[in-house]
Amino acid sequence: MKKSSPRTDYGSPNTLVADIAKKSLLCLLPLSALSCYYGWKMPAGVLAGGVIALVNLRAIANSTASFLGAKNANRKLRFLGALRFAALFMVFSILFKRHVVNPFGLLAGLTVVFIFILVEGVKIARSSKAVGGDEGQDEKTVGGDHDIISP
């Protein structure tokens, strides 16, 4: 049987975000079910943390894709990032002040999505390196002005 390779042919940021969301939700649902042992606030925190992280990831992808090539894109992205950060702060404040979720559950949900973002990023980086995505770069200047120590 032929071994299937990981998906790295993402045509747009939305397909990458959708793939991360699908994998995260498949992990978040059983994790929240297992956390029911600690009361109803723990699974609520796991699900809330995951949903907040996925909404934030979608917002980052949409804002970045919409401003690619735009004039003053850096300034606009910083402004939208500040608004997103303020919105996240407000949501977290409300959840904590009303004692709706367990903070550790919220952290677990955020961490699950973050891990899947890292895993997909590493897969894409490895596949682009295998295809030759780092062509044209001198070994001594890959990391900026720092020299790479070779074995």
Q: Give the pLDDT mean for 126-130.
A: 79
Delimit the domains of the chain by residue range: 13-127
State what percent of residues in the chain have pLDDT above 90.
52
pLDDT band at 135 (very low <50, low <70, confident <90, very high): low
114 vs 132, residue with greater confidence: 114
pTM above 0.95, yes or no: no
pLDDT score recorded for residue 53: 96
Tokens for 34, please give them.
């297992």
* pLDDT 10s digits, 69-86: 777 788 888 898 999 999
* pLDDT 10s digits, 3-32: 555 555 666 778 889 999 999 999 999 999
* pLDDT 10s digits, 32-49: 999 999 899 999 999 999
Does position 146 have pLDDT exceeding 80, yes or no? no
Q: What is the residue-wise DSSP string for the chain?
A: -PPPPPP---SSHHHHHHHHHHHHHHHHHHHHHHGGGG-SHHHHHHHHHHHHHHHHHHHHHHHHHHHTT-TTHHHHHHHHHHHHHHHHHHHHHHHHHTT-S-HHHHHHHHHHHHHHHHHHHHHHHHHHHHHTTTTT--GGGTTSSSPPPP-
Does residue 89 contact residue 27 with C-beta atoms inside 8 Å?
no
C-alpha angle with apex 60: 41 to 22, nearest 5 degrees? 55
Does position 90 have pLDDT exceeding 50, yes or no? yes
Tokens for 59, please give them.
């917002």
Q: Give the pLDDT mean for 118-144.
A: 69
pLDDT band at 99 (very low <50, low <70, confident <90, very high): very high
